[in-house]
Copies of this chain bind each other. A is one copy, B any other.
């Protein structure tokens, strides 16, 4: 089959890790007889350098014309990069927020699991790890504090800043449906996380989630306060299957969860809209300090490409093949620096991509 994929190489290590993911996709095409054509799209710092803004309308249109978007990572070192001399709305991250909103990518899926092979990298003790853990975080991505009205005003010489956290029933319902759908294909458990003892938006969240749950009698639904969830992720991560939460809480909890696995260089993500279209990117950042040194771990991006095959192109067999290839290379003892351990063979970004492509 023919597909069109937008590539956002991005900043920092972005170009290197996208290059390796594309290498793996090319191999998939060879083996399974598909043709992928690629469109380059600029976002973040790379777009600022060329166009002066982190996202152009044209870039959004190009992305929209494709079947899916594969992204590296964006942003730079805020302390030293000239991008951060610009006002906040013109910085690299603003481009990412804008493309999420404009493409209506409201459902952000972030898997967080412990790789058997990488147990040593997990910061938690053996007895906390227990049987291991495998969660899917479903984060709402186009609402809440991220996209509410905000303003900074001065009165009597005193500055005041206001941000607003807004959710309506429809926004909550569509993300909840996604979470329950995913739970049906997993261990059938949803933990909805909110701060319903304080926020009106959380009380509405809880009510709508309860309502959606009625259509999924097989799924066990739990509500958890966000402060408690931040504790439970460290205390007993094995209890979670699908975590469903709003934008800001999801930002915080998904980063915590990915660190708890010890494998942040391994974790992929998908941001989906109401159709099959989605944007796929690693959970980690752009690591400007190691950019261009062949040190970055391309696996999270390669696994994001696997998610792209699965969710946007319905190519399950091909996605399975990519995931199996990653597994084999890990079993073979190959590691990038970030996940290096005693007795393993350390390889660079490029070599890791070659090894995985070769296993397809």
Contact A227–B198 (Cβ < 8 Å): no
CB of A93 within 8 Å of the partner chain: yes
Contact A169–B160 (Cβ < 8 Å): yes
Cα distance, A175 to B253, chains bound together (Å): 25
Contacts of A168 in B (CB 8 A): 158-161
A124 touches which one: B123, B164, B197 (CB < 8 A)? Answer: B123
Per-residue contact bits, chain A 248-270, to B (CB 8 Å; 1 contact, 0 not): 11011111101110001000000
Contacts of A197 in B (CB 8 A): 88, 91, 93
Chain B nearest CB from A159 CB (Å) reads 5
From known contacts A88-B197, A252-B227, A259-B234, infer whether A165 and B166 are also in contact, taking CB-CB under 8 Å: no
Cα distance, A195 to B151, chains bound together (Å): 15
Contact A169–B159 (Cβ < 8 Å): yes
Cα distance, A248 to B145, chains bound together (Å): 12
Please report the total number of A residues contacting B with Cβ < 8 Å: 58
From known contacts A162-B166, A169-B160, A235-B259, infer whether A145 and B204 are also in contact, taking CB-CB under 8 Å: no
A230 touches which one: B88, B124, B253 (CB < 8 A)? Answer: B253
Q: Within residues 123 to 182 of chain A, which ones have a CB less than 8 A from any CB in chain B? A: 123-125, 128, 145-146, 148, 150-152, 158-170
Contact B231–A255 (Cβ < 8 Å): yes
Contacts of A252 in B (CB 8 A): 226-227, 230, 249, 252
